[in-house]
Chains A and B, each alone.
Chain A
Amino acid sequence: MAAFAFYLFSGLLLTSGLMVITAKNPVHSVLWLILAFFNAAGLFILLGAEFLAMLLVIVYVGAVAVLFLFVVMMLDIDFKALKRGTMQNLPLGLAVSGVILAELLLIGTGWQPGQGVIVHEALAGPPVGMSNTQWIGSQLYTRYVFVFSMAGLLLLAAMIGAIVLTHRRRVGIKKQDIAVQNARTPAGTLGIGKAGLGQGVDL
C-alpha cells in the first residue's frame, strides 16, 4: 500500500514537474506547479512528517502559488515573442543547466556527508509521548533558535526591500481617515441657521 502510494505521488510529482516547463500556457504551468507541491506534501506524509506536509500545503499551495497565479493571470503574454526568445537563449540556458547538472553529479558521487562540515548528531526521533509537531517546536526554538532567527531576519530583509522598492507616496488623492470620521461630533459638523425668505443661508 505504502509502495503504491509512493510511486503514485512521486510519479505524479515528476509528471507535473515536467508539465510545468512544457505547458504552453503559463497559467497552466502554475497549476501544474501546484499539483507538484501537493504531491510533495503527500510524500512527506508517507515519511511520517505530517507537520511538514501540512506546512508545505499551507505556505506553498495556499499562499505562494496563489500570488504566482495572481501575477501570471494578469500578465499579457505574447506567445510568439516568447518562442523567439526561447530559441535565442537556448544555448545560454543549456550551458547553465549543464554546469548545474555537472555540479549535482559531482556532489552526488564524490561528496561524503560529515566531512569538513561539523554537523549535529542525527536526532533519533520524537521522545515517547510527544507528537511530531511538539518535538519540532521544542527543537526549533531551543537548539536551533539562532539559525531559525537568522532565517526570519533574512525574510524580513527581503520584505523590507520589496516594500522600499515599490513604495511610492501618491499626491493629489483623497484618502479616507476612519479615525477622523469616527471622531466627528454634531458640535463640530452641524449648524442650524435660519434661512430668511429669498436670502438663503450663509455657510
Chain B
Amino acid sequence: MTYTGWFIEQFGQGLGWFLANLTLILAIAFPVMVGVAVAVYADRKIWAAMQMRRGPNVVGPFGILQTFADAAKLFLKETIIPTGASTGVFLLAPMISFTLALVVWAVMPFDAGLVLADLNVGLLYIFAVSSMGVYGIIMSGWASNSKYAFLGGLRSAAQMVSYEVSMGFILVAVMMYAQSLNLSDIVMSQKANVLGILNGNIFNPLLFPMAIIFFITALAETNRPPFDLPEAEAELVAGYQVEYSSMSFALFFLGEYANILFMCALIPTLFLGGWLPPLDWAPLYLIPGFVWFLAKMAFMFFVFAWVKATVPRYRYDQLMRLGWKVFLPLSLFWVVVVSGWLMFTGHFAAVPA
C-alpha cells in the first residue's frame, strides 16, 4: 500500500489525502530548513578556509551551532516597520520570497520515485516559480520607501529578468534532449547516455557548454557573488532588505539560501544525472540514489562557495552585457544546434499526423 493509500484508509478520502500530503510537505520543508542552516555554516567555513581564517568556531563543537544562535538572535529582535512604508506590501514581500523558495522543492526528485509532485511540466513549474521570485525583492524594495532599498530592488529585478531569458533557452535545450519536461524522466534519460557508460548530460559535448552557462546563470539568479549587486554592501548598504529587521529579515535570508540549495539540487538533476551514480556500473548502484543526490548537491554547494570566495563583484553594465550580449545569443544559437542534431539523428518522438 502506498503512503497516501494508508492515510486515505485511516482517515477517509479527503482528510486522508490532505494529511498524507501535509506530512510529506513537512518531510521536505523541515530538512530543507535544516539544510539551509548547515549550508550557511558550510558557506562561512569554506569562505574562511580559503581566506586562511577560522570562521565560526565558538558556538557548539566546531561552531556548528552558530547558525542556530544567529537565528535565535534574529527571532528575539524587534520587528521594525518604517513610518513611510506601505505596510501590507512591506510585510507580504518576505513571506512571498520565503514561500516561493520552499514551494519550488515540490517537484524535485530526490531518488527514483521519491518526489512529492511528479508533474508532467515539472521543469516549467520550476521556471514559473523562480520567475515569480523577483516579486518578493521588487515589492520589498518599493514598500520600504527608501532610496537604497528601491535601487537594490530595481537592480535585482532587472538582473533576474535578464538572466531568466538565457536560463529558459538552456532549459529548452535540456528538455529537447530528454524529450520530456518531467524531472524524473530527465534524470532517467541521462542513464548511460554518453558512450553507454557515463551518466549525465554534462559529459555530453553537446550539452557541456550549456551546463557551464547554466551554472553561471544560476549564480546570477540567486544573487550570489560575483553577481550580488542587489545587496552590494559597499554602495547600497544591503539593497532591498536594508529596512528589514528581525523575522522579516530572517525570512529573506532563509529564502535566499533555500534558493541557492535548490539551484545546487537542480544542476545535478539537469546535468549531473540526479540520483544516478556518475558511472553506469552495477556496484555503484548499491549506494542508495538519495546518497548520490546529496553528495552531488554538496559538491555543487562547495563550488558555489568556492566562487564566492574567489571572484570580485561585477560592475552593473558588465553584468547586463554578459546576460544580454553573450549568454542570450550563445544559448539561443545552442538551442538551434541541439535541435538540429536531434533532428538529423532522428531523436525526436514521432509526430502524429
| Interface positions of A (Cβ within 8 A of B) | 1, 25, 27-28, 31, 34, 50-51, 54-55, 57-58, 61-63, 66-67, 69-70, 73, 127, 130-134, 138, 142, 176, 178
Partner of B124 from the list A27, A54, A176 (CB cut-off 8 Å) is: A54
Contact B352 A54 (CB under 8 A): no
Contact B124 A55 (CB under 8 A): yes
Known contacts A63-B131, A70-B157; A127 and B352 CB within 8 A of each other = yes
Contact B349 A134 (CB under 8 A): yes
Q: Is B161 an interface residue (CB 8 A)?
A: yes
Partner of B125 from the list A25, A54, A62, A69 (CB cut-off 8 Å) is: A54
Contact A50 B321 (CB under 8 A): no
Partner of B134 from the list A27, A54, A58, A62 (CB cut-off 8 Å) is: A62
Query: What CA separation (Å) do A1 and B12 show in the bound complex?
Result: 14
Q: Is B142 an interface residue (CB 8 A)?
A: yes
Partner of B135 from the list A34, A58, A178 (CB cut-off 8 Å) is: A34
Contact A51 B121 (CB under 8 A): yes
Type the 1/0 row for B87-128, where 1 means its CB is closer than 8 Å to any CB of A. Answer: 001000000000000000000000000000001110011011
Known contacts A1-B14, A62-B134, A66-B161; A142 and B317 CB within 8 A of each other = no
Closest chain A residue, CB of each to CB of B89 = A31
Partner of A178 from the list B164, B321, B351 (CB cut-off 8 Å) is: B321
**What are some 30 contacts across the A-B interface (CB < 8 A)?**
A27-B142, A28-B89, A31-B89, A50-B119, A51-B121, A51-B124, A54-B125, A54-B127, A55-B124, A58-B127, A58-B128, A58-B131, A61-B128, A62-B127, A62-B131, A62-B164, A66-B135, A66-B161, A70-B138, A73-B142, A73-B154, A127-B352, A130-B352, A131-B180, A132-B120, A133-B120, A133-B181, A134-B349, A176-B317, A178-B321
Closest chain B residue, CB of each to CB of A67 = B161
- Report the minimum CB–CB distance from A131 to chain B (whole Å): 5
Query: What CA separation (Å) do A25 and B87 show in the bound complex?
Result: 13
Partner of B154 from the list A34, A61, A70 (CB cut-off 8 Å) is: A70
Q: Hey, which chain A residues are within 8 Å of B14, CB to CB?
A: 1
Q: Which of A62, A130, A142 has the most CB of B within 10 A?
A: A62
Q: Is B37 an interface residue (CB 8 A)?
A: no
Closest chain A residue, CB of each to CB of B157 = A66
Known contacts A34-B135, A138-B351; A133 and B121 CB within 8 A of each other = yes
Closest chain A residue, CB of each to CB of B175 = A133
